[in-house]
Structure 1
Amino acid sequence: MEKLFIKKKEFVPEVNFDPSKGLLEISGQSYHEYTAEFFDPLFTWVEGYLKESGLTITLNYKMTYFNTASSKSFFRIIEMLQAYEESGKGKAVVNWYYKKDDEDMLETGEDFISDSGWKNIHLIAY
């Protein structure tokens, strides 16, 4: 499977999905108006990657801001990883990075844990 890299732009987060390392990273800001066009290829990539069994996957979110549409897309990726792990096909973990003084990003991470019911989302202050 090919690596997926999208360079960070003004309204678009950096995406670095490296299948050889089992590492998916999304960082920056996400508040563009064409959310579906941006995230659909990410969903397709993750779905293709999760067809393999026995993987250990780490998803690092290091966002500083995102809009509601992006939030729904991020949550969908988390649900995909959760389903993969709960099916017994492999292991997955999400590291949710937030600035120490960013209460909104901390609360969003807590909401994702609560809404998903998944314990493999780790909140990490930096």
Structure 2
Amino acid sequence: MADAVGQGYVEFRNGNRPNRADLPSCPVQVCAQLMGTKWKILILRDLLEGTKRFGELRKSVTGISQKVLTGNLRELEDAGLVARRVYPEVPPRVEYLLTETGESIRPVIESMRLWGESYLASSLRD
């Protein structure tokens, strides 16, 4: 747990990141494993816009349940891609943001967006 003294919040990150031996040897498979569900990709996409509260993520990731969102956020936190900030308020305010490692996924998601736009424009017929 990293304490952000003077910033009014406590930031949590799981220090138990995956060991290299526990990850596949193929780099593409590593990427797929860490951000492999549609929900994780959409959560990362939305966090690329900036810090979000749980309710904001639940609204922006259409169709996700509270349980699935919670589980995916925990997995992204465990992988070191997302950090959680808890503000000492009543009720507690919790925000999610990308870590530096999570931010490094920006070009991957941007490439996915560009490919999706291209596919929609050229491959589908009305």
Q: Which has the higher contact order (CA 8 A, sep 6+)?
A: 2
What's the TM-score, normalizing by structure 2?
0.25
- Whichever structure has more helix as a proportion of its residues is 2
TM-score (norm 1): 0.25
Select the structure of larger CA radius of gyration.
Answer: 2
Q: Which has the higher strand share?
A: 1
